[in-house]
Amino acid sequence: MADRIFNVLFLCTGNSARSILAEALLNHRGKGRFRAFSAGSHPSGQVNPFVLELLSQQGLPVDRLRSKSWDEFARPEAPEMDFVITVCDNAAGEVCPAWPGQPMTAHWGVEDPAAQEGSDEARRAAVKKAFHLLNRRIALFISLPVQTLDAMSLKRHLDEIGRTQEAGEQHDSPLGA
């Protein structure tokens, strides 16, 4: 069980920013203990260019990131998920497909950087804010002893992580928690 890889699906409506950021961060920070995916209920069909720019600046791979429907993960041949985490309020309120294996679910609402209007700098700042918040939550998630927690305790921790906000200025090092 110690070598088990946990599959995590991050969901939002458009699958262009928040869920993509979470996928990239967990795949990087999870160090092989987690395999992250992302999808949307109504995918935009493209990844936000400011998301790709920030991830590239942080040295995270972007070549396999794409906007896709959550239907891909409800198919019989799809990887079985251990966790399904919504990162936007719209997706949290929608009726989700039946996920094979009955994964544990949680909601980690994050403001949508793709909805940011204004200058490119304002859009970059919104993406950076979402990145830092998701980075913090993922750091907390990967620190959990997932293999040893009972289901109720694990669910409680996942819900608490979803209420975690950014921790001030300790994000000077973007990939540090």
CA distances from 1 to 33, 141, 142, 147 (A): 11, 18, 16, 7
Query: Which run of H or of E encompasses 24?
Result: helix 18-29
Catalytically active residues, by annotation: 12, 88, 96
Tell the residue number behind the tokens 């204004």, with chain if given.
118
Which is it for the CA torsion 111, 114, 119, 121, positive or negative?
positive
Chain center to CA of 91: 13
Tell the residue number behind the tokens 């966790």, with chain if given.
83
